[in-house]
Structure 1
Amino acid sequence: MARPRQHISKDRFSSHFSALRTQAYHDPGSSRGVGFQSMTLKFADDQVHSLRSIAWNPLGTLIAAGSADKTLRVWNPDRPNVKYSTELKGHLAPIEKVAFNPVKDAELCSVSSDGAVKFWDVRTKAVINEVKGLGDAFTLAWAPDGESLVVGNKADNIFVLSPTQSTPIASHQQNVQTNQMTFCWGGKKIFLTTGEGSVKILSYPEFKPIFHLSYDPTTPFTLNGHTSSCISIEMQPTARWLATGGSDSIIAMWDTTDWICQRTLIDMTGPVRSISFSFDGSFIVGGSDEGSGLEIAHAETGEYVHSMKTAGPCPIVAWHPTRYCLAYADVGTLKIIGVDPERR
């Protein structure tokens, strides 16, 4: 891939990004043609989307893609031909979420609605650990130290797992619809998005509310910025902002020093299924299963700096961990803008 680039100002970003090439990664073994329907979340069980989840490894040298047809494939972004990719087989149902261990470049975790969580060594294609019986599992988040992770199912039960143990360390039943989760970079707080539009802030691994209302110490403090279900969440790399996305088509930007919503990004079309910050935290993009394009905004000001036309809806977005390079799912196909494929 191209050499890591320096930080680019918001005024120069659009001209720089417009010049980048987009590369598609076609998997001939994966079923296509399922239309533009929504990714399966617990409130849309009858809908499917071929590509459910994409994730970069910590160095950005690999990208994993999990699909509704049980296909799990790891690509070398520089080699788009499928023969240079690695297929990982074993799940019996749609793959809902994939994520690399944040401190191990070749350890990948996948979560499927078959109730199994698999840990893979991408180099050998081996399953190095498996946890079964977790119900209709659909979301996961690694703790920053890579020593544990959390997996949630559609019965609102959250399991704490170890990448080396075949049974859960703990489970925490939630009393409200719980969607995506993410950690603070210190690993002591975990944020849970809910069907009520709020975000819980809990201690980890205890899962106890960290803050309470000043006028009612018995009531946990939550982030309330959406008029309907809150379905996606992402912590900025510099930890200044926590971004949440809702089915109200809004991305809310929370200042992590005082937990006040400083601004909202309102140019999205349809529910915000995923959110991603660029490696330097300067730019943010949201993915939706409606519309046909991506809108990139400057995180600090909320100003939209670049519009990108796509073939169809792009529910999943993921910035590269070290450079201005954006992966996204477009009509069920993995695409990456900013790579330098087949470099010689």
Structure 2
Amino acid sequence: MAPMRPRPSISKERFPAVFSNFKTQTYHDPSARGVGSHAIRCLDWNPLGTLIASGSADRTLRVWNPDRPNVRYSTELKGHDASIEKVAFNPVKDAELCSLSADGVLKLWDVRTKTCINEIKGLGSAVSLVWHPDGEGIIVGNKTDTLFFIDPAQFKVVAEHAQDVQTNEIAFCWSGKRIFVSTGEGRVKILSYPDLQPVFQCGWEDKPLTLNGHTSSCLSLALQPTARFLASGGSDSIISLWDTKDWLCQRTLIEMTGPVRNISFSWDGMYVVGGSDEGNGLEIAHVDTGVYVHSVKSQTPSPVVAWHPTKYQLAYADFGGLKIIGIDSDRKHNN
């Protein structure tokens, strides 16, 4: 893919005024009639940010053109028989999408042709899905704490790894040599990939280093695009920001209401936001200071959030449907 044109970042001081002037666009899906069975459970942008996929509790899997909010300009991908729990675009192929349903079915789609290229069944009650940064591997995790390693080329499971602790979310480092695993103990494990060995040891205790930042289950993870910070979110309503140089918690964000189900960094890594299935709104924080710079009001809780990969556009779930702030950001960014 062609390299992205660098965009200027918005300073902490300017962000509230600039972002509050951005338009919020609603995407009209006739299936969405408020909260309930249609509720969106996952979102993901493709690498160029020209498409965004949404997966819903009623099995609706849809790929939207963010510039065309009417549903007739979207693509519905049909074939799942259970709630769509995760969607993830291949990080190096703009039109290749994976979707994971609650009944343990993983499907690989070509969104240009609306074709299901391949599928894997029998992954259990699935909860997590992540691509290797080079697009050469996929990891799926389920509620029985088994990690499945999948070869996308053959689209088959090549390894299974049972974990000894409740395993919730998985994230890769950008080199693809390590994974971060959030656990029910409120910790984050740092493991080598693909052999899943602890990367660091606590010298004074002679045991694997884990990041202990939550008083209850750690549910979500996100690595900053610049890789300086790893964010972890817990059922204690806290987002912890870990410095990846010394693995110390630099700050905690405590303005969330309810469990932190999802975390997303802005394209430049300057801002972070969490999603929760409680409360009515989103709180955007400046990463380097922990200062909250903008509040987004919503009609219902917004458990899923996703920043655009190259722009200040924020997608989130509200009232059963998709909304995106900043579709007009290119016109207003430099004003």
Q: 1:154 to 1:290 in 2, by over 3 A?
A: same
* Stretch moving more, 99-108 or 129-138: 129-138
Q: Which runs of 5+ in 2 are unaligned?
A: none
Q: Indicate yes or no: 2:289 matched with 1:301.
A: yes
- Give the equivalent residue in structure 1 for 2:266: 278
Write the distance in 1 (CA, Å) between the matches of 2:212 and 2:103.
33
Q: Is the 8 A contact 1:31 1:50 kept in 2?
A: no
- Give the equivalent residue in structure 1 for 2:73: 84
Alignment of 1:252-291 (within 5 A): 252-291=240-279
Q: Is the 8 A contact 2:306 2:315 kept in 1?
A: yes
Write the distance in 2 (CA, Å) between the matches of 1:83 and 1:331.
20
Letter in 1 for 2:115: A
- Give the equivalent residue in structure 1 for 2:219: 231
- Give the equivalent residue in structure 1 for 2:326: 338
CA RMSD of aligned residues (A): 1.6
Q: 1:32 Cα deviation (Å)?
A: 4.5
Alignment of 1:169-318 (within 5 A): 169-217=158-206, 219-318=207-306
Question: Of 294, 308, 320, which residue of structure 2 is paired with 1:320?
Answer: 308
Partner secondary structure for residue 72 of structure 2: helix
- Give the equivalent residue in structure 2 for 1:107: 96
Write the distance in 1 (CA, Å) between the matches of 2:70 and 2:181.
38
* CA offset digits 1:146-169 (Å, max 9, x no partner): 110100011100101122224201
Q: 1:49 Cα deviation (Å)?
A: 7.0
* CA offset digits 1:240-299 (Å, max 9, x no partner): 000000000000000000000011000111111111000000000111111111111100
* Stretch moving more, 61-70 or 21-30: 21-30
Q: 1:30 Cα deviation (Å)?
A: 4.9
Question: Of 155, 161, 167, which residue of structure 1 is paired with 2:150?
Answer: 161
* CA offset digits 1:33-52 (Å, max 9, x no partner): 41xxxxxxxxxxxxx77110
Q: Is the 8 A contact 1:30 1:69 kept in 2?
A: no
Write the distance in 2 (CA, Å) between the matches of 1:287 and 1:114.
24
Write the distance in 2 (CA, Å) between the matches of 1:317 and 1:29.
20
Write the distance in 2 (CA, Å) between the matches of 1:302 and 1:31.
36
Write the distance in 1 (CA, Å) between the matches of 2:76 and 2:32.
11
Q: Is the 8 A contact 2:38 2:58 kept in 1?
A: no
Write the distance in 1 (CA, Å) between the matches of 2:295 and 2:58.
31
Partner secondary structure for residue 15 of structure 1: helix
* CA offset digits 1:68-108 (Å, max 9, x no partner): 10100000000001000000011111010001000110000
Q: 1:216 Cα deviation (Å)?
A: 3.2
Write the distance in 2 (CA, Å) between the matches of 1:196 and 1:274.
18
Letter in 2 for 1:58: P
Question: Of 112, 129, 138, which residue of structure 1 is paired with 2:127?
Answer: 138
- Give the equivalent residue in structure 2 for 1:27: 29
Letter in 1 for 2:228: R
Partner secondary structure for residue 275 of structure 1: strand
Q: 1:116 Cα deviation (Å)?
A: 0.9
Q: Is the 8 A contact 2:31 2:38 kept in 1?
A: no
Q: 1:16 to 1:299 in 2, by over 3 A?
A: same
Q: 1:215 Cα deviation (Å)?
A: 2.2
Write the distance in 2 (CA, Å) between the matches of 1:327 and 1:29.
19
Letter in 2 for 1:233: L
Partner secondary structure for residue 176 of structure 2: coil
- Give the equivalent residue in structure 2 for 1:9: 11
Partner secondary structure for residue 156 of structure 2: coil
Partner secondary structure for residue 157 of structure 2: coil
Write the distance in 2 (CA, Å) between the matches of 1:4 and 1:268.
31
Q: Is the 8 A contact 1:292 1:311 kept in 2?
A: yes
Q: 1:29 Cα deviation (Å)?
A: 3.2
Q: Is the 8 A contact 2:33 2:320 kept in 1?
A: no
* Stretch moving more, 290-299 or 161-170: 161-170
Write the distance in 2 (CA, Å) between the matches of 1:313 and 1:114.
25
Q: Indicate yes or no: 2:55 matched with 1:53.
A: no
Q: Is the 8 A contact 1:202 1:208 kept in 2?
A: yes
Q: Is the 8 A contact 1:190 1:203 kept in 2?
A: yes
Partner secondary structure for residue 164 of structure 2: coil
